[in-house]
């Protein structure tokens, strides 16, 4: 449970005992706790989101960085929801938005140790949860098809490839950055969306 620092520390201790040190940390655990508007959402939902999505990352960095050698890399999986408004996902979006500050602050504080810290902000990813048919997933898929430059969700392997790059020695001068991997959703209106708007105006 990444929300419990004692459990995180115990897991790190086991890893170090087995391997001597840790070179790469990927903060990937996360929860989406509710599907309510800010007027109806509960404090409990916000606290749960921040405990896992935000404090979980803080715990990871706090427990792992001390055993990392120079040249190591920390990558946090954030979300496009951290950069845009996310109707009915306020707790999730807020907890992910906080990770940008965690990433940049950690990057500056850990630079003297030779540790790089970055985050990846994916758009919609085809996962088991996103194949569930839940109402918010249907809305997300419709948005991606209409507004995304490629008109599809990303595959998990495509996000993993970006993480692999950030963990590699090929980007020794990249730290404190948010790498958006959203298939062009935040680049601007897609041709498909513009065509649909024009078609709607002509009806």
What is residue 34's predicted lDDT score, i.e. its pLDDT?
80
Using CA atoms, how far apart are residues 131 and 146, in angstroms rounded to an integer? Answer: 18
Is position 46 annotated as part of the catalytic site?
A: no
What is residue 52's predicted lDDT score, i.e. its pLDDT?
96
Q: Is 64 inside any structural domain?
A: yes
Q: Is 197 inside any structural domain?
A: no
What is residue 50's predicted lDDT score, i.e. its pLDDT?
96
HSE at residue 170, side-chain half, CA atoms within 13 A, is: 8
Q: Is 141 inside any structural domain?
A: no
pLDDT digits (tens, 9 = 90+) for 135-188: 667 777 777 877 788 888 899 999 999 999 999 999 999 999 999 999 988 888
Helices 56-64 and 90-110 cross at an angle (nearest 10°) of 20
What is residue 109's predicted lDDT score, i.e. its pLDDT?
99
Q: Is 135 inside any structural domain?
A: no
Q: Is 194 inside any structural domain?
A: no
Using CA atoms, how far apart are residues 63 and 106, in angstroms rounded to an integer? Answer: 13
Domain that holds residue 114: 5-124+155-183
What is residue 48's predicted lDDT score, i.e. its pLDDT?
95
| pLDDT average per 10 residues of sequence, the chain (203 residues) | 96 97 95 87 95 98 98 97 89 96 99 98 81 67 80 92 97 97 86 79 67
Q: Which of the residues 92, 175, 180, 182 is marked catalytic?
A: 92
What is residue 136's predicted lDDT score, i.e. its pLDDT?
65
Using CA atoms, how far apart are residues 49 and 52, in angstroms rounded to an integer? Answer: 6
Q: Is 148 inside any structural domain?
A: no
HSE at residue 47, side-chain half, CA atoms within 13 A, is: 3
Q: Is 147 inside any structural domain?
A: no
What is residue 33's predicted lDDT score, i.e. its pLDDT?
80
What is residue 135's predicted lDDT score, i.e. its pLDDT?
62
Provide the domain count of the chain: 1
CATH number at residue 109: 3.40.50.720
What is residue 70's predicted lDDT score, i.e. its pLDDT?
97
What is residue 173's predicted lDDT score, i.e. its pLDDT?
97
What is residue 127's predicted lDDT score, i.e. its pLDDT?
77
Q: Is 188 inside any structural domain?
A: no
């Amino acid at each position: 449970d990444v929300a419990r620092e004692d459990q995180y520390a115990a897991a790190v201790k086991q890893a170090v005992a087995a391997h001597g040190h840790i070179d790469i940390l990927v903060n990937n655990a996360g929860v989406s706790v509710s599907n309510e508007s800010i007027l109806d959402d509960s404090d409990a939902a916000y606290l749960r989101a921040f405990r896992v999505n935000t404090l979980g990352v803080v715990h990871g960095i706090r427990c792992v960085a001390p055993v990392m050698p120079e040249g190591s890399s920390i990558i946090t999986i954030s979300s496009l929801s951290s950069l845009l408004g996310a109707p009915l996902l306020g707790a999730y979006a807020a907890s992910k938005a906080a990770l940008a500050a965690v990433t940049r602050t950690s990057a500056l504080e850990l630079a003297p140790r030779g540790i790089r810290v970055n985050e990846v902000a994916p758009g919609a990813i085809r996962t088991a949860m996103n194949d569930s048919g839940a109402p918010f997933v249907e809305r997300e898929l419709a948005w991606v098809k209409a507004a995304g430059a490629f008109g599809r969700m990303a595959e998990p392997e495509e996000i993993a490839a970006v993480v692999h790059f950030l963990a590699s020695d090929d980007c020794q001068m990249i730290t404190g950055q948010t790498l958006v991997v959203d298939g062009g959703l935040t680049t601007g209106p897609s041709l498909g969306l513009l065509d649909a708007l024009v078609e709607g105006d002509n009806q």
